[in-house]
A and B are shown apart, each in its own frame.
Chain A
Amino acid sequence: MVSRKQALLEVKGLKTHFFTEDGIVPAVDGVDFSVAAGETLGIVGESGCGKSVTALSVMRLIASPGRVVAGSILFEGRDLAQSSQEEMCDLRGNRMAMIFQEPMTSLNPVYTVGEQIREAVQTHDRQISDGAARVRAVEMLRMVGIPLPEERYRAFPHEMSGGMRQRVMIAMALSLAPALLIADEPTTALDVTIQAQILELMKDLRERVQTAVMLITHDLGVVADMADKVAVMYAGEIVENADVYSLFREPLHPYTQGLLASIPTLASTRNQRLNVIHGTVPNLLRLPPGCRFAPRCPKAMDICRQVRPTLRDVDGGRQVSCWLY
């Protein structure tokens, strides 16, 4: 294990499959990871790699035709995979919270943002009076850096910009003071300067509230900035697990290597060809028999095309799923 700390969330052998008319889509196909209290785990990967489905599985928010078919999701010692929907409802409003890429879809358009935060406050603390909850809600708005919070309390979601709405979502999530915050591409829809604001805000709040964060993103820059540990996903599997420094210093899996080399950075110069990962992500309905990355892998060997590798421990407390190691 990367971290020796007591795990807050420990996911083992998680499989979430979608039963479509064309066949079974193994969106998440045997995933292991853990998050310790107060720690930030980044889950990176490209679209369709299963990172969002992983998050939704942990929250038990997978809708038909999808289903968690195997694995355990231990959260504070309780297996969420076995929990009833009532227990989950209780947890979701209390110990864990989630923020999404597009805040508009998760805010209720007919209530003011203030009322929605107040409701979250009251879900968390059932003894609190309406008036006190209102004051807390205004405080939360102020804490996430919304100017004129008393006035903004009465604003409707559509009256706010994308960045403001994302702040409201964060305020709502954090007024629950959750042990675990799952953030699914929280800044993808935002402009860079607004993204910078939100990332700083999340860091700041993480310090203050000591929340563990599961950060799902496709942006390696965001991961490098925010995460303590990183899990790299490809075609429904975790291909590499490492602490953030080792991962960026010395990526082990050829997919991680390719990914890191293919991003243009401010340091890359013009006309220097970008590194490229050949081909495209495999169709989850027609997965190759061996390693799922083998068809695109520049280092593929015979065994890679025949036998599927598993995630195994390597030096430095890291894990990688590749026959090279």
Chain B
Amino acid sequence: MTADSRAVGATEELDLPEMGQWALVWRRFSRHRLAYLGLIVLVFFVVLSFGAPWLAPYPYDKINMNDNYSLPSAKYFLGTDELGRDIFSRLLYAGRISISVALVSTLLSSLVGIIVGAAAAYWRGVTDMILMRLTDVMLSMPTLPLLLVFSKMLREYPTLKDTFGDYLSVFVLVTILTLFGWMYPARLVYSSVLSLRETEFTEAARALGSSGWRILFSHLIPNSMAPVIVISTLGFGQRVVLEATLSFLGLGVNPPVPSWGNMLSQAYAYMLRNPWLAVYPGLFIFFTVLAINFLGDALRDALDPRLKV
């Protein structure tokens, strides 16, 4: 008897076809032309770099002193360096390292940041005090000198040396970039969870008998992700640059493992004789970072739940 009356107002079809969250995000994202371009550029670099073993014409460390300093030619696509190594091949292998370092340290920082920020905001009290003061302390430290000190210290640690061999410098770099990068996502998640925990949907979950952890993982963290994704995207770009800076100072990725940063650093010595040695890695860094920044801007809009369409 009541079935039809109840359905009043609800039986009408929904206006729009079914569209998931991600479909909507994609729709908003694709309105940004520069971001589209950025995405293409980024995918291009990632495919080139991670496909290095198959795409690179030469091994990155193949020395050919007869061909050193050669100009771009059919044999050497972008020419060779002072030891006659193929620049193009080295750029691909270097990209693999540079991108991995930035990516892994960004993901780890975000993970640590999310946990710290969310826990502090949800439980407040002592947890909040300890975690957020720690965050403040970390944020007040002068980063560059500490990065230098830490990277030096870790490099001298014997067990690590044995475990990682040539890749020790890569491990050290990821560690310190994570150590000094988690505070930014932590602050962001903290403020977002702080306001989300007061929402009615959080109250509803509590009224249903949900535990704190459950609310944190099923409501609060998913709703805080959008800004984290945005700053992580931008953070990724910063880390590519930071890797270059540290490697340039000799404290990033060390040869023989190539990275865009240490290629740039090595090229410095031959700057006057062969400027293009510095130009190529510089351009790769430039375009990667530019692409990711365009992407970040578009994601900011695309992930904003306030924008409906």
* A interface residues, Cβ below 8 angstroms from B: 20-22, 273, 276, 278-280, 283, 286, 295
Contacts and interface: CB of A to CB of B under 8 A. Distances in A.
B18 interface: no
B25 to A, nearest CB: 15
Contacts of B9: 276, 278-280
Contacts, number: 19
Nearest to A276: B8
18 contacts: A20-B309, A21-B31, A21-B309, A22-B309, A273-B5, A276-B5, A276-B8, A276-B9, A278-B8, A278-B9, A279-B9, A279-B11, A279-B12, A280-B9, A280-B12, A283-B15, A286-B15, A295-B12
Nearest to B16: A283
Contacts of B5: 273, 276
Contacts of B8: 276, 278-279
Please tell me the size bucket of the interface on B. Answer: under 10
Contacts of B11: 279
A278 B12 CA distance: 9
Contacts of B15: 283, 286
Given A20-B309, A280-B9, A280-B12, 16 more contacts: A21-B31, A21-B309, A22-B309, A273-B5, A276-B5, A276-B8, A276-B9, A278-B8, A278-B9, A279-B8, A279-B9, A279-B11, A279-B12, A283-B15, A286-B15, A295-B12
Contacts of A20: 309
Nearest to B31: A21
Nearest to B308: A22
A136 B197 CA distance: 48
A295 B9 CA distance: 12
A279 B12 CA distance: 6
Contacts of B12: 279-280, 295
Interface string B257-287: 0000000000000000000000000000000
A306 B2 CA distance: 32
A278 B10 CA distance: 9
A59 to B, nearest CB: 26
A186 B11 CA distance: 34
A195 B309 CA distance: 36
A283 B5 CA distance: 23
Nearest to B2: A273
Interface string B1-27: 000010011011001000000000000
Question: Would you list the 7 A-B pairs with minimal beta carbon distance, nearest first?
Answer: A279-B12, A283-B15, A276-B8, A278-B8, A22-B309, A279-B9, A280-B9
Interface string B63-95: 000000000000000000000000000000000
A191 B123 CA distance: 35
Contacts of A21: 31, 309
A278 B5 CA distance: 9
A242 to B, nearest CB: 27
Contacts of B309: 20-22
B23 to A, nearest CB: 15
Nearest to A273: B5
Nearest to B7: A278
A279 B8 CA distance: 6
A49 to B, nearest CB: 17
B72 to A, nearest CB: 45
B17 to A, nearest CB: 12
A278 B8 CA distance: 6
B2 to A, nearest CB: 10
A276 B5 CA distance: 9
Nearest to A286: B15
Contacts of A273: 5
B11 to A, nearest CB: 8
Nearest to A285: B15
Contacts of A279: 8-9, 11-12
A292 B244 CA distance: 63
B292 to A, nearest CB: 25
